[in-house]
Structure 1
Amino acid sequence: MVINPQSAFKQSNQPHYIFEGIVFDLGNVLQPYDPWRVVDNLATISGRSRWLIALYFRISSRWRQFDAGRYSKEDFCRRVIGELRLRISVLQFEQAFADMFTLNRQLVALLPELAKRYRLILLSDNNPIHSAYCFGQHDFYALFEHKILSFEVGACKPSPLIYQRVFDLTGIPPSQLVFIDDRKRNIRGAVSAGMSAIHFGNEEDFIQFIRLQGWFDGLDHAKAGVAATGS
């Protein structure tokens, strides 16, 4: 786990971790995702080669542009269907494209405890299809005070614009925010914007780290422990 500490991180002479808000990434932090599931889903329903579909997504910028808000949902679906020559409907494509997420259950189980002390913010490179799918599947997203999504901002991480949106919407100074992401370039962008940041490697190490850092000090440890292990 790569840690970029600033003033918010616990020091040896501090009794607990001091900051106001936690900014969580979605993909591969709260919900792991596998783009190959999209490839396999589309290959199965269309009969097209999975390698052709995989190559398309590898060399095409459509997905990244969709995340950046360059296309509407309908426009994106029709462009990809047309370019891949898929004989499927827009609805079929949307369903296949959405289904690529799982859940980091132990981490998600701790969010209600964290929300008792810290303001929770979601910051995700995302699009209308994936955000609707994830938010529709899981109630825990209601714990987040703000859900800041790249397609709504018109910029993806690590653009300074998307970090600035966090500060503008929350009113929290960057020095009082801790950002969590699985991509190092996004971590560097957050640190440059003034936030503390943690590079998310895996669920188990992250949970151990935040417990050692005192994120749950003074809260109901027994309840948090049961939630983390019982999901």
Structure 2
Amino acid sequence: MIKLFVFDLGNVILPFEHRQIAVKLHEKSTEKEAFTPEQLFDVMFDLQNGLINPYEEGLMSSAEFLSNLKRQFRLDIDMNAFSNIWNPIFRDDPEVNKVIFYLKEKRYPLFLLSNTNELHFSYIMENYPIVHWFDEWLLSFEVGAKKPKQRIYDAIFEKMDVKPNEVFYVDDISKYVETAQQLGLNGVVFRSAAQLWDFIQKNGI
């Protein structure tokens, strides 16, 4: 029996498009002819070696993250201007919100489990009320580990006394769902709100 629902944030609760960040930052470089927006994007977001990784594991402050980008790409930008490019990449999904509201009305505990960073989550807290419907926020930059590291999944069980097979986990990235399943959680790769309603109906939730 499912006792806890755990959701990823980006591209599950809040769809986002982050390639625009690299395009806009490229325009702020004093040496933009030396590299492409795609190269800047890779330096920031490469899954293995991107600067985003230490930033989203709390090993680097927002100021340090920006300082690294400014140095590597000769960006003429301050933190306020950077935030105005970095943050507004998200949008609400009203259909997914309805699923969250329904589960909350049914009194199921709801957790967020997200690879995210200080700037993004501060912005999200101020602009997207849906995150305040969740009982716990398990955030990589606070936990000190990103998915698919086991440490961030372990944080679920530090917050609630529940067995792995009593947890239903939703993420848009198959590798992260596979890791959850290997740890004994029920998991599904997110495709749509309709998919979640189908699970709810089939399981009498």
TM category, shorter: 0.7 to 0.9
Q: Return the index of the structure with the highest Cα Rg.
A: 1
Aligned residue among 52, 58, 63 for 1:69:
58
- Quote how far apart the aligned CAs of 1:53 are: 3.2
Contact 2:169–2:185, Cα closer than 8 Å, also in 1: yes
Aligned position for 2:4: 21
Distance 1:195 1:215 in 2: 19
% same residue: 24
- Quote how far apart the aligned CAs of 1:32 are: 1.2
5 Å-filtered alignment, 1:171-210, equals 171-201=161-191, 203-210=192-199
Aligned residue among 8, 21, 26 for 1:38:
21
Aligned residue among 168, 185, 210 for 2:158:
168
Aligned position for 2:123: 133
CA RMSD after TM alignment: 2.0
Partner-residue secondary structure (3-state), 2:65: helix
Distance 1:99 1:182 in 2: 20
Contact 2:25–2:85, Cα closer than 8 Å, also in 1: yes
- Quote how far apart the aligned CAs of 1:161 are: 0.5
Distance 2:17 2:202 in 1: 30
Q: Which has the higher contact order (CA 8 A, sep 6+)?
A: 1
Distance 1:56 1:45 in 2: 12
- Structure 2 unaligned blocks of 5 or more: 45-49
- Quote how far apart the aligned CAs of 1:25 are: 0.1
- Quote how far apart the aligned CAs of 1:207 are: 3.7
Contact 1:53–1:84, Cα closer than 8 Å, also in 2: no
Query: Under a length normalisation based on structure 2, what TM-score does the superposition of the two structures give?
Result: 0.88
Amino acid aligned to 2:17: D
Distance 1:175 1:87 in 2: 50
